[in-house]
Amino acid sequence: MNIDLAHDHRAIASRVDLVEGAGGLPMLNVTNDLAEARISLHAGQVLAFRPRDADPVLWVSEHAYYAEGKAIKGGIPICWPWFGPHPEPGKPGHGFVRNRLWQLRSVESLLSGETLIRLGMRSNEETLAIWPHRFDLELMIVVGTGLKLCLTTRNDNDYPLQISQAFHTYFQVGEVEQVAVRGLEGCHYQDKVAGGEHEQEGPVTISGEVDRIYQGSEEQEIDDQSTGRRIKLRATGSHSCVVWNPWIDKAKAMKDFGDEEYHNMICVETANAGADSVTISPGQTYQLGVNISVEPHGA
Ligand code: TA6
């Protein structure tokens, strides 16, 4: 399918191609005057984003699985309706929407020159067998000079629904040891590696395995001193932020992650996780959003 959407006298054009991607999975290649992106319908996952004349912003493992029923390691996996492991054995980690097919609901070329893609998933027999609640989930992705995501959960039950969730975003960095994540100073965090609760002093730096859920932060900046690039995240509907790098041993233990790949990635995840869960009233919606923007080298 080719959708050419040049409908404005200023000749703003988006091109969105539905292609057979890695593993035969359906993917959208999005190109406009401002940027390009690749979005997998399997998992509803943005796999690549690159503003025009800039370097790729997202990281994907060279060893990622591309197969139905599996999660893709990289890009922006959607963790929903729970973040992390489920307390009941046998339930998938980080929920069940990051390893199944989403529907393409619409594609629109905006006057701003951005491209808006809407993906969705609704509860069905399969999802009800894993999580016995009715829902409609919609992911809006806006591809422009920055990348905007908004995940809307609608509670289709006649009782309140509690969820946790995250945009589990993997960012590409030159060398993770030369990265400082700002915006988390003074925030409390749960340390999933060393255990315990702590308060962040100064920017977050990586010189070993890091897996932390921070509370009380809505804006972060990834300052990559190895490339001079700064990536900014501005969240809405999120009061927690997860920072993750597996470092050496955990990288070696994961089959879908190369032994040395930990050098070039960092996850800074826009979340409702840990103490920050969300309760949605019957018939109501909740929106989790993030705007990702890039300040080029030396700006
Ligand atoms: O967000 C951090 C985390 O929860 C880590 O604990 C780590 O295991 C990671 O996600 C990746 O999880 P995955 O199930 O995709 O291997």
Please tell me the predicted confidence (pLDDT) of residue 298. 56
Query: How far does residue 84's CA lie from ligand 1's centre (Å)?
Result: 7
pLDDT 10s digits, 118-161: 999 999 999 999 999 999 999 999 999 999 999 999 999 999 99
Amino acid of residue 263: H
Q: With 70 as the cut, is the pLDDT of residue 165 above it?
A: yes
- Residues 123, 137: Cα–Cα separation, whole Å: 9
For ligand 1, atom 15: residue with the closest CA = 73
Ramachandran area for residue 202 (φ above 0: left; ψ -120 to 50: alpha; else beta): left
Quickly count helices (H) and strands (E) in the chain. Answer: 2, 24
Using the atom order of ligand 1, give the atom closest to the CA of residue 166. Answer: 1
In 3D, which of 221, 203, 265, 213 has the Cα closest to residue 238? 213
* pTM of this prediction exceeds 0.85: yes
pLDDT 10s digits, 262-299: 999 999 999 999 999 999 999 999 999 999 999 865 55
Place of tokens 């997860």: 242
| Cis ω before 296 (30° cut-off from 0) | no
Ramachandran area for residue 218 (φ above 0: left; ψ -120 to 50: alpha; else beta): alpha
Query: How far does residue 87's CA lie from ligand 1's centre (Å)?
Result: 15
Q: Indicate which residue of 42, 94, 114, 168 is catalytic.
A: 168
Annotated catalytic, 63?
no
Please tell me the predicted confidence (pLDDT) of residue 3. 44
pLDDT 10s digits, 46-68: 999 999 999 999 999 999 999 99
214 lines ligand 1 (CB under 6 A): no
